């Protein structure tokens, strides 16, 4: 089963810059392509005229995001992207170091597990691991998870210092995602208080109808949340088996304790 938000085409927000969006989509296409692409490939894939496509590619090349082979005329990832990647190396190492635990947790629970990384006051879906179960929910890496509805978001938000937590809550634009989405700050504060008391967050059909997620914060050496790990399951299936949800909670708490302990070393 795929995440409902995993498609390439998403509705653009009001006020977006169309030309910037198209340039970023072209860059994303070249990064994701298994081999370098030619001008004709971009023309065909984006249904553009050659002159417009060339200007986009030329601009991206000028800024160092793309590199053009002088012989084949093919475009590939440029040096600027690798520079950014090196700047993000520490965060990447954090993601890589957790993948084995995510995979192990997926095996224990037979559910999809995922990692939310707390970056610039946002929770980024940075990694996930699939189980061997017939029904497995795929996530889209790179998505910014809502702080007020997603389990990985609430797991981080709940354990931030009060002043920082309140600043983030007051800046949330509550958007109804399902019939169960929390829609105001007071209701969110109550949910976060319960989360702190029990040690984990729950997203019960709040972000995606029919999906339940549980998540547990991961604390750094300063005792502040740096990430969260979550488990995604089909609500109807996990509710139908007695003790199943409790097993998920026990498993994610144990794994979260293990990861936090390793980070403290």
Least confident of 13-22, 52-61, 228-237: 13-22
Q: Is residue 194 domain-shared with residue 257, that is, in the same domain?
A: yes
Bridge partners, residue 216, by sequence? 229
pLDDT tens, position by position, 158-175:
999 999 999 999 999 999
Q: What is the pLDDT of residue 209?
A: 93
Q: Are strands 122-129 and 225-234 parallel, antiparallel or unpaired?
A: unpaired
φ, ψ of residue 242 to 5 degrees: the values are -60, 135
Strand segments (E) across the chain: 66-68, 75-77, 112-119, 122-129, 144-145, 201-204, 211-219, 225-234
Q: Which two tokens stand for residue 162?
A: 């009060």
φ, ψ of residue 121 to 5 degrees: the values are 65, 20
Q: Is residue 44 domain-shared with residue 134, that is, in the same domain?
A: no
Distance separating alpha carbons of residues 137 and 213, to the nearest angstrom: 11
pLDDT bracket for residue 88 (50, 70, 90): low
Q: Is residue 108 domain-shared with residue 135, that is, in the same domain?
A: yes
List, in sequence order, the alpha helices (H) in 147-199.
151-157, 162-170, 185-198
Distance separating alpha carbons of residues 142 and 116, to the nearest angstrom: 10
How many domains does one find in the chain? 2
**Residue 22 reports pLDDT greater than 50:** yes
**Pair 193, 187: CB distance under 8 Å:** no
Q: Which two tokens stand for residue 172?
A: 């949330």
**Residue 2 reports pLDDT greater than 70:** no
Q: Is residue 57 domain-shared with residue 163, that is, in the same domain?
A: no
**Residue 138 reports pLDDT greater than 50:** yes
pLDDT tens, position by position, 208-262:
999 999 999 999 888 899 999 999 988 888 777 788 889 999 999 998 888 888 7
Q: In the predicted model, what is the mean pLDDT of residues 80-108?
A: 76
Which range is most confident: 42-46, 127-131, 140-144?
A: 42-46
pLDDT bracket for residue 90 (50, 70, 90): low
Q: What is the CATH number of the domain that holds 204?
A: 3.30.450.40
Q: Are strands 112-119 and 122-129 parallel, antiparallel or unpaired?
A: antiparallel
**Residue 30 reports pLDDT greater than 80:** yes
Residue 146 DSSP class:
P
> Around Cβ 43, how many Cβ atoms within 10 Å?
16
Distance separating alpha carbons of residues 173 and 148, to the nearest angstrom: 9
Q: Is residue 118 domain-shared with residue 188, that is, in the same domain?
A: yes
Q: What is the pLDDT of residue 211?
A: 92
Q: Which two tokens stand for residue 200?
A: 């984990």
Q: What is the pLDDT of residue 6?
A: 40
Q: In the predicted model, what is the mean pLDDT of residues 41-68?
A: 94
**Residue 196 reports pLDDT greater than 50:** yes
Last-in-domain residue among 86, 118, 144: 86
Q: What is the CATH number of the domain that holds 64?
A: 1.10.10.10
Q: Note down the domain range covering 129.
A: 88-264
Q: How many CA atoms are closer than 13 Å to the CA of 169, on its beta-carbon side?
A: 23
């Amino acid at each position: 089963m795929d995440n409902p938000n995993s498609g390439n085409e998403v509705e653009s927000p009001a006020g977006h810059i169309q030309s910037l969006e198209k340039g970023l989509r072209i860059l994303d296409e070249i990064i994701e392509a298994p081999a370098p692409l030619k001008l004709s490939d971009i023309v065909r894939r984006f249904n553009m005229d050659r002159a417009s496509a060339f200007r986009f590619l030329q601009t991206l090349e000028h800024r160092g995001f793309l590199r053009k082979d002088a012989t084949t005329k093919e475009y590939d990832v440029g040096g600027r992207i690798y520079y950014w990647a090196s700047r993000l190396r520490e965060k990447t190492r954090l993601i890589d170091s957790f993948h084995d635990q995510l995979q192990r947790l997926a095996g224990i629970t037979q559910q999809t597990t995922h990692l939310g990384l707390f970056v610039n006051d946002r929770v980024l879906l940075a990694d996930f691991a699939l189980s061997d179960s017939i029904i497995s929910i795929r996530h889209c890496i790179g998505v910014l998870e809502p702080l007020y509805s997603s389990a990985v978001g609430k797991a981080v938000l709940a354990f931030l210092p009060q002043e920082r937590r309140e600043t983030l809550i007051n800046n949330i634009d509550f958007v109804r995602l399902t019939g169960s989405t929390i829609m105001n700050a007071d209701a969110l504060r109550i949910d976060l208080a319960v989360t702190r008391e029990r040690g984990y967050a729950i997203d019960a059909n709040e972000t995606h109808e029919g999906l339940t997620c549980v998540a547990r914060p991961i604390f750094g050496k300063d005792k502040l949340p740096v990430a969260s790990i979550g488990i995604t399951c089909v609500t109807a299936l996990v509710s139908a088996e007695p003790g199943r949800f409790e097993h998920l909670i026990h498993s994610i708490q144990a794994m979260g304790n293990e990861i936090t302990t390793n980070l403290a070393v």
